[in-house]
Structure 1
């Protein structure tokens, strides 16, 4: 029989673990459905190209040659590839659309995804290698994002897996504090992985946004912004994970899972061994005579002792000679 107090004790960490799992599922599903505002609004970076301004190289006399080449590459990409008005980057894919056709053209999700602007925008289609005319800050920012994209994916996958294991192992905590003990390790791993994923993703995408804006915003009107929703979900999930790990640890010390009404429990054995107070136990009465378990009086009373005497009250147990 399950102890109701034990169920109440693990209810909070169990529900927090489920909340962490929901947050992770949202991050993984983001960008996987076309025109789904609820999920596709969970982007890490949004690139706005609606104010893109391009000037042909012929009108850039005296301008920096690298800016001229980059402008020509963007102009060629717009004409040949059809650059979209908006691009949103997710954990496993990206979406691109024009006008009000929000979150359309989402790519198929895949592991270790990273958004390569040089390839997507066709900046390497010119006769000059992209690395030679793109600013160093842009190249460095994209390289940092590329190198960290795998680490971010691994951390989120680890956090998602740990959340699933925590919930499964947490079921055993209903019956025993040993279950809470093992669940605490899973919950601690879940919290560490998710916090690390949130910190890494926040830092990396801030670097990528700065690299894109430094190169493209001033001269070409291309603006990049961070997605507030996905970072909120990630950090809220991290807070839930830390709280879940703490409460799982607390449940190790509180509320035994064994019911006191279990016949094999120590409480039940102790209850049976103790005598219930205020119970009636029959005792022998003198007027009924001694029972088999009662001893007779120490003094010998002869028949004359019970004979009534004149002027004296009848006292059957009065000692002789008094």
Structure 2
């Protein structure tokens, strides 16, 4: 879970842990930070519901713009429907809320596959003004098709993304969506997405304002790169992220031999399995055109991990 770190910011606001015992004078203004509300289920008897209510009493809820839902209990037993339901119930108080991230847990609290998610679209229904939604964890995740006119950024981080959830995202009406970041994961942790499932997205007609696309952390990274090479959606993108997966020379070659990528401002390929000669080919093809290419984190295959020994950055 090395790349699923604690959030440092949300909506451009620094992440700050809510501390109920903090002096009122020391707390930042409600809209100046992204508030993280969490509890430690092994240290004390405070339930997330009580902590969240304390937050609403201590911080002016009408000024809160960004909310991070951290550990809400034993998250491998209690689904995110619990904290999401409480946030939805407070919608009439959280009138300025623009961004929510559900499941800001790190490995010491729960491996990414242990986080029990739920129907996260309840937040979109309750907050029509929401512009950014982030989710960590694919287990139990559902995303029924939804219409939302304000959402500009959607991030789903998982060690295995259910294809049904992906289909719900792609069947949704999100006319304002500018940034979509999907961690597809591996089949052994519930990631049953296959490249044909991405066809509506790659066609470029689903989200007309999309300018950033991340299809990351996949054991199918070479196949995805090959599909991207001829995908109409690429023409509208400014940034493309294919990092954290099993990308090798064959996938990188497909990118270089496909449609031009020189209009991009950045191409992120970090955590890859490219050889040094292919790294040079990619850099020499794109960097002279002003494309920032991230080729950091060259990884070595491990024996016993499939026929090629390649692995994603985040799985369990």
Higher-helix-fraction structure: 1
Give the structure-2-normalised TM-score: 0.21
Give the structure-1-normalised TM-score: 0.21
Larger radius of gyration: 1
Between the two structures, name the one with larger relative contact order (CA 8 Å, sep ≥ 6).
1
Higher-strand-fraction structure: 2
